[in-house]
């Protein structure tokens, strides 16, 4: 559509145009119900089908065994920062965390508030979070109930490309790289991701949970904060965010049926990020501070020589229909998010603009 811009916001992020068109076509009359999906009761067969089929598609694309359940919750990643330690440990239990910056720090703060014996067993703050700790060197405490890490760090542009090999279960906050690449889920007890980056709208969070890990959950959890409640009630314990789940379902269909699954999606994401990183590395005006082996395939951060040049770049990009390229408010600089819905054509247009800007600046 000629009047649409190229959206590089870090979240909520771009949505696939085919999905928007499908949602538009069904907006007033979903599945011949004579109603919008937003009007349907959450107790209808139509809504439960959307919930159930979304979970089935995630299990299929992630190659999850029947050991795992997929549930859809509200509250974003921020609520999961609390629900994970509440469900997977008891007060006083040891839990291990990796600190790779902004979102990991929020998860650590939340877990500490619950009275757990939390230890940060690896961190990257010594070099301003421009890398992730080497997965092979991470050592956990043997009595720890789990190891928590944020796989992709949107603010600083770093990413774990493999799970650490540790003897305890892993809890992975995959909010910004969920279903962007193929993974081996076997080391994980829990994976969670709010949807508004790669798989949908704000308002819904996908949680993949290994059922056996819940056998030792505390018995006195509030029902609403107990994973077992939502598994038993099939993500319909209380009114779920039906429209957000519906849009996520449409995106899951798009990834599986149109793109060809997460393996095909991963190849596209590597093409996009490689093209942009190659250009940045070859152009003196732009500098990516992240160590090469730790660079995120989802969020590319870079700087220009001066703050005034960065502001000029961001403004001229916006005027050229390239929106959302400003860095996180705590970091400054520039950031380009390459989530699943961002097309290779969008990246090519960005690189063309960056090249013209560099030539004009003559730096």
Question: What is the per-residue pLDDT for 1?
Answer: 60
pLDDT digits (tens, 9 = 90+) for 3-42: 899 999 999 999 999 999 999 999 999 999 999 999 999 9
Structure tokens at 17: 């145009």
Q: Is the pLDDT of residue 191 over 80?
A: yes
Taking CA atoms, 68 is separated from 23, 55, 56, 133, 186, in Å, by: 29, 10, 11, 28, 10
Structure tokens at 164: 């650490």
SS (H, E, C) the chain: CCCCCEECCCCCCCCCHHHHHHHHHHCCCHHHCCCCCCCCCCCCHHHHHHHHHHHHHHHHHCCCCCCEEEEEECCHHHHHHHHHHHHHCCCCCEEEEEECCHHHHHHHHHHHCCCCEEEEEEECHHHCCCCCCCHHHCCCCCCCCCEEEECEECCCCEECCCCCCCCCCEEEECCCCCCCCCCCCCCEEEEEEECCCCCCCCCCEEEEEEHHHHHHCCCCCCHHHCHHHHHHCCCCCCCCCHHHHHHHHHHHHHHHHHHCCHHHHHHHHHHHHHHHHHHHHHCCCCECCCCHHHECCCEEEEECCCHHHHHHHHHHHHHCCEECCECCCCCCCEEEECCCCCCHHHHHHHHHHHHHHHHHHCC
pLDDT digits (tens, 9 = 90+) for 126-175: 999 999 999 888 999 999 999 999 999 999 999 999 999 999 999 999 99
Q: Is the pLDDT of residue 2 over 90?
A: no
Q: Is the pLDDT of residue 313 over 90?
A: yes
Residues paired with residue 303 on neighbouring β-strands, in sequence order: 287
Structure tokens at 11: 């979240």
Q: How many CB atoms lie within 10 A of CB 125?
A: 11
Let me know: does 50 contact 43? Beta carbons within 8 Å.
no
Q: Is the pLDDT of residue 268 over 80?
A: yes
What is the rounded CA–CA span in Å between residue 73 and residue 25? 27
Q: Is the pLDDT of residue 43 over 80?
A: yes
Which one from 177, 197, 254, 272 is the annotated catalytic residue? 197
Mean pLDDT of the chain: 97
Which one from 93, 96, 99, 173 is the annotated catalytic residue? 173
Let me know: does 255 contact 60? Beta carbons within 8 Å.
no
Residue 103 annotated as catalytic: yes
Question: What is the per-residue pLDDT for 33?
Answer: 96
Question: What is the per-residue pLDDT for 158?
Answer: 98
Look at residues 138, 146, 154, 137 and name the one whose alpha carbon lies nearest to residue 101: 154
Let me know: does 160 contact 122? Beta carbons within 8 Å.
no
What is the rounded CA–CA span in Å between residue 259 and residue 245? 20
Residue 356 annotated as catalytic: no
Let me know: does 323 contact 7? Beta carbons within 8 Å.
yes
Which one from 99, 103, 177, 254 is the annotated catalytic residue? 103
Region of poorest pLDDT, from 41-45, 88-92, 343-347, 359-363: 359-363
* Helices 344-361, 307-319: inter-axial angle, 10-degree rounding: 130
What is the rounded CA–CA span in Å between residue 267 and residue 262? 9
Domains of the chain: 6-17+261-361 (3.90.1150.10), 18-259 (3.40.640.10)
What share of the chain has pLDDT > 90, as a percent? 98
pLDDT confidence tier of residue 103, bands split at 50, 70 and 90: very high
Structure tokens at 342: 């961002």
Structure tokens at 199: 């798989």
Residue 66 annotated as catalytic: no
- Tell me the average pLDDT across 335-361: 97
Q: How many CB atoms lie within 10 A of CB 89?
A: 23
Question: What is the per-residue pLDDT for 336?
Answer: 98
pLDDT digits (tens, 9 = 90+) for 229-251: 999 999 999 999 999 999 999 99
């Amino acid at each position: 559509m000629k009047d649409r811009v190229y959206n590089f916001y870090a979240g909520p992020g771009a949505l696939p145009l085919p999905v928007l068109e499908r949602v538009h076509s069904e907006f007033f009359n979903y599945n011949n119900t004579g109603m919008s999906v937003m009007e349907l009761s959450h107790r209808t067969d139509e809504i439960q089908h959307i919930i159930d089929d979304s979970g089935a598609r995630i299990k299929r694309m992630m190659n999850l065994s029947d050991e795992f359940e997929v549930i859809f919750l509200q509250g974003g990643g921020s609520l999961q920062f609390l629900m994970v330690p509440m469900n997977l440990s008891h007060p006083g239990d040891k839990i291990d965390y990796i600190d790779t910056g902004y979102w990991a720090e929020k998860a650590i703060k939340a877990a500490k508030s619950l009275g757990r014996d939390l230890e940060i067993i690896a961190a990257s703050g010594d070099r301003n979070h421009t890398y992730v700790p080497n997965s092979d060197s991470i050592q956990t405490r043997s009595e720890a109930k789990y190891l928590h890490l944020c796989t992709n760090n949107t603010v600083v542009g770093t990413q774990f490309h493999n799970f650490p090999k540790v003897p305890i279960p892993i809890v992975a906050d995959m909010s910004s790289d969920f279903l962007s690449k193929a993974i081996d889920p076997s080391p994980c007890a829990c994976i969670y991701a709010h949807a508004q980056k790669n798989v949908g709208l704000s308002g819904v969070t996908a949680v993949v949970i290994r059922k056996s890990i819940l056998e030792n959950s505390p018995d006195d959890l509030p029902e609403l904060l107990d994973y077992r409640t939502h598994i038993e009630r099939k993500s319909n314990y209380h009114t779920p965010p039906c429209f957000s789940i519906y849009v996520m379902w449409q995106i899951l269909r798009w990834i599986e049926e149109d793109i060809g699954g997460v393996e095909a999606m991963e190849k596209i994401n590597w093409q996009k990020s490689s093209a942009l990183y190659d250009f940045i590395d070859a152009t003196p005006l732009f500098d990516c501070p992240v160590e090469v082996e730790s660079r995120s395939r989802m969020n590319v951060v870079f700087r220009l020589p001066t703050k005034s040049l960065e502001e000029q770049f961001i403004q001229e990009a916006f005027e050229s229909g390239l929106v959302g390229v400003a860095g996180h408010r705590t970091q400054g600089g520039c950031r380009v998010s390459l989530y699943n819905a961002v097309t290779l054509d969008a990246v090519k247009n960005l690189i063309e603009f960056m090249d013209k800007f560099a030539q004009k600046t003559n730096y």
